[in-house]
Amino acid sequence: MKASLLLLLALALLLTVPMALAESRTWTSADGRTLTAELLAVEGDQVTLKTERGNFQLPLSRLSEPDQAYAKEWKAKSVAPPTSAPAPGSPAGGGDTDKSLGDFANLKPGVWPNAVSADFEVDQIEVVKEDKDAGEYVYRSPHFEFHSPLKLSTTVVREFSRIFEATFEFMKAMPIGLSPKPKEGGHYFTQLYDSMDAYYGAGGVPGSGGMFSYSWRGSEVLKSEIHVPLTSLGVEFTGTRYIVDHGKRSDTLVHEIAHQMTGRWLPVLPVWFKEGLAETVSTQRYDSGRFTLTSMDRAIREDVTERTGNDREFTMLNLETLMNLTSEEWAAALQERTGGAVNYPSANLLFYYFLRIEGDGKGSSMIEYMKAIAAGTPEAQARGEILMRGKTYAEIQDEVAKGWRSQGLQLTFR
């Protein structure tokens, strides 16, 4: 109750200040005040708005009647099933997989490389635009397009591009059918900033080193962008030229890049899956354009226990709560001091369990679950019938604990 009151007070303050955001609109409260924000979600009688000062959830009743109608119409369009995937039982022959989501026909389950790397030459970096007056420079690596306010050498662009391209190769190599590819054969968009202040001014979350921003309407992904300050990429100015610091930690950035690689899966997958996948990728050993994948479970175990300081022990979020969390509930939990320290590793452990520990160790049930969703099966149904095999959350929880115990990690649940 107290937290809700504080949130409404914060919103009241924000409604007195008009702000500009990309792909946003002006909202009017029931008492006539305005706020510029982007609509993120509508659940029940609550609406979540994204502002430059963060995300805020409030009752629909606090908005004007036209805005309430707009939000309800937005929700109706957003929850529509993917147009290219037939609804279960439809005359279009339900059961056919939406091939734009993933490539399952050519999949070889369980076949993992020992390592993946980004190997490309300087001449593969394309200088698309150099406009000194406008402060706009555009560069392309094989799969990414970088928009920078500063002129950078192609060597510098190649060096920081390696982390993006290596993450792309990792996601492509995961034998579960993700099949990442830029929209319409283009390039993934990345906006660079010359300072942390510029990054924060554009909506970057204070304390973060980069962020992924996306939105969709129905099955169409409208926006899929990485926003990152150059300092987070290890780019430093020596006084005469820009160089790349190869010792810069990159796990947070890899997490966001992994989200971007997930593409059209984002609107149809639950939050534990999306965050767990990004965590599994970002917790692997990365060095100079190369991910080592020979001890993935160990890398996850070490990351999880490092957060708590308890060697080989972790108290995980109970599976019934974790597997039913909405994106809004996930975001709200992160506002609590310990929310991220529990939710992220919990999702990581659950995702990797289905990826490489459960059953035959080839991620077979995960693949069938994804194929069912791509064919239009509701996520809750696919989860219960395929991932959980009709078992209770308590039974699956025991199996997850047993599976991780075999990997040297003792789990309890909260």
Cα dihedral value 109, 388, 326, 166, nearest 10: -20
Residue 136, judged by CB atoms within 10 A of its CB (0-12, 13-18, 19+), counts as: middle
**d(C-alpha 104, C-alpha 178), whole Å:** 9
- Within a domain: 152: yes
65 lies in which domain range? Answer: 2-78
What φ, ψ does residue 51 adopt, rounded to 5°? -125, 175
Q: What are phi and psi of 346, to 5 degrees?
A: -65, -45
In a domain, 326, yes or no: yes
Q: Note the pLDDT of residue 218.
A: 63
396 shares a domain with 383: yes
Domain assignment of residue 111, yes or no:
no
Amino acid, res. 57 = Q
Does 414 lie in the same domain as 279? yes
* Pair 124, 220 in one domain: yes
CATH number at residue 33: 2.30.30.700
Closest CA to 279 of 234, 340, 324: 340
Residues 263 and 136 in one domain: yes
Element spanning 10, H or E: helix 2-14
Residues whose CB falls within 8 Å of the CB of residue 404, separated by 6 or more in sequence, listed in order: 301, 349, 353, 357, 410, 411
Contact present, 255 and 343 (Cβ < 8 Å): no
* The token pair that represents 16 in the structure block: 């007195």
Asked whether 46 and 59 are in contact (CB, 8 A), the reply is yes
Residue 104 lies in a domain: no
Does any domain span residue 102?
no
| Domain edge (last residue) among 21, 54, 78 | 78
Q: Are residues 223 and 141 in the same domain?
A: yes
The two three-digit tokens of residue 59, written as one number: 């009752």
Q: What is the CA radius of gyration of the chain?
A: 22
Q: Does residue 84 form part of some domain?
A: no
* One domain, residues 252 and 278: no
Q: Judge whether 96 lies within some domain.
A: no
Among residues 267, 295, 326, which one ends one of the domains? 267
Does 190 map to a domain?
yes
At residue 341, the pLDDT reads 84
E strands present in 101-203: 115-117, 126-131, 136-140, 144-148, 188-193
Pair (291, 403) in one structural domain: yes
Do residues 127 and 256 both lie within one domain? yes
Asked whether 90 and 225 are in contact (CB, 8 A), the reply is: no
Query: How many separate domains does the chain show?
Result: 3
How many Å apart are CA 68 and CA 228, to the nearest integer? 34
17 lies in the same domain as 126: no
Domain C-terminal end among 267, 285, 303:
267
Q: Are residues 70 and 133 in the same domain?
A: no
* Same-domain check for residues 283 and 414: yes
Query: Do residues 45 and 61 both lie within one domain?
Result: yes
Distance CA 269, CA 292 (A): 27
pLDDT along the chain (414 residues), means of 10: 34 32 66 76 72 66 78 60 36 47 86 94 93 95 95 94 95 93 84 93 81 75 87 88 80 90 88 96 93 96 85 92 91 72 94 96 96 93 96 97 95 94
